[in-house]
C-alpha cells in the first residue's frame, strides 16, 4: 500500500503510552497495519516508554514475591487467552477494524444522512464521548467546508478524496489535531470513498492528577 499521509509523532506516542480511546486506537492500529514506517515509530515509542520506566520512583508494595508465588501455586492457571478464533476476512479492511464490523463493507446497514452520503455508527456510546463511524461517500460528493475543534483521526478504507491538504487514498491517515483550518473534501475516486472517523472529545481533566502527583526522579 502506497501510504502518503501518516500519523503524527504525538499521536504515535499517545498510542504507545496507552492514552487513546478504543476508537482512536482502532484507527491508529489500522494505519500501523498498512504502514510499517509508522509501525516502527510506534515500536520505538514503546521502547522509549520502557527506558523511562526505569527512572520511575517505585511505590510501596504490600505483597511480596514469595507470597505471590505461594498464591500462584494454589491458583489454577487458566489457559492463555488465545486470540479470537475466527479471523474476519473483509477485503481491504485491516483486522483491528474488521473485528468490529458485523458484516462486509457492502453489507453494512448504512444509514443515508445526505445525498451521496451514508453513515455507519460503530459506537453505541453517547456522542459526547466522541464519534466513531464509517462514512460512505459517493464519487463526486463534495462535503461542506468545515473545521475541527476536537481531536479527529480519519483512516481511508477505500477510494480517495482531495482537500486543501492533498489527496488521501486507502491506507492514508488524516491526523487533524485542533487544526482550525477549514477543509472541504471532494471525493475523486471512481468507486465510493469509505472513511473511518474517530473524534476524541476533550475529557474532563479535573481530578486526574489530584494528589497522586508524586515527585519523580530524573526529570
Site for another protein in 31-50 (CB under 8 A): 32-37, 39-41, 43-50
Q: Which is nearer to another protein, 77 or 115 (CB)?
A: 77
Please check whether residue 26 is in contact with residue 101, taking contact to mean a CB–CB distance below 8 angstroms.
no
Cell of residue 54, nine digits:
526505569
Taking the C-alpha atoms of residue 42 and residue 80, their distance in angstroms, rounded to an integer, is 25
How far is 33 from 36, CA to CA, in rounded Å? 7
Residue in 111, 154, 153 with CA at minimum distance from that of residue 136: 111
CA neighbours closer than 13 Å in the CB half-sphere of residue 51:
6
Question: Per rule CB under 8 A, is residue 79 in the interface with another protein?
Answer: no
Site for another protein in 4-33 (CB under 8 A): 8-10, 12-14, 16-19, 22, 25-26, 29, 32-33
Kindly list the residues in this chain that would bind Zn ion in the complex (CB under 5 A). Answer: 6, 35, 38
Residues 169-188 that bind another protein (CB under 8 A): 177-178
Residues 82-141 interacting with another protein (rule: CB under 8 A): 83, 87, 89, 92-96
Using CB under 8 A, which of the segments 53-61, 108-116, 124-132, 183-191 binds another protein? 53-61
Quote the Cα angle for 119-111-174, to 5°.
5
Nearer to Zn ion, 1 or 103 (CB): 1
Q: Please, which residue, 20 or 35, has the CB nearer to Zn ion?
A: 35
Closest by Cα among 219, 216, 218 to 58: 216
Considering the complex, state which of residue 22 and residue 165 has its C-beta at the smaller distance from another protein: 22
Amino acid at each position: 500500500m502506497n501510504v502518503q499521509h501518516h500519523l503524527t509523532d504525538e499521536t504515535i506516542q499517545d498510542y504507545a503510552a496507552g492514552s487513546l480511546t478504543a476508537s482512536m486506537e482502532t484507527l491508529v492500529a489500522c494505519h500501523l497495519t498498512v504502514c510499517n514506517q509508522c509501525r516502527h515509530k510506534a515500536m520505538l515509542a514503546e521502547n522509549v516508554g520502557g527506558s523511562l520506566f526505569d527512572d520511575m520512583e517505585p511505590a510501596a508494595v504490600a505483597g511480596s514475591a514469595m507470597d505471590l508465588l505461594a498464591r500462584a501455586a494454589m491458583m489454577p492457571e487458566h489457559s492463555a487467552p488465545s486470540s479470537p478464533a475466527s479471523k474476519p476476512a473483509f477485503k481491504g479492511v485491516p483486522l483491528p477494524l474488521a473485528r468490529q464490523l458485523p458484516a462486509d463493507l457492502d453489507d453494512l446497514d448504512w444509514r443515508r444522512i445526505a445525498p451521496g452520503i451514508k453513515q455507519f455508527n460503530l459506537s453505541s456510546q453517547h456522542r459526547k464521548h466522541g464519534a466513531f463511524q464509517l462514512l460512505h461517500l459517493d464519487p463526486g460528493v463534495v462535503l461542506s467546508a468545515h473545521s475541527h475543534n476536537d481531536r479527529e483521526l480519519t483512516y481511508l478504507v477505500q477510494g480517495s478524496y482531495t482537500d486543501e491538504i492533498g489527496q488521501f487514498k486507502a491506507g492514508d491517515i488524516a491526523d487533524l489535531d485542533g487544526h482550525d483550518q477549514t477543509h472541504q473534501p471532494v471525493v475523486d475516486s471512481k468507486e465510493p470513498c469509505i472513511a473511518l472517523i474517530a473524534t476524541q472529545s476533550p475529557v474532563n481533566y479535573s481530578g486526574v492528577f489530584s494528589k497522586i502527583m508524586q515527585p519523580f526522579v530524573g526529570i
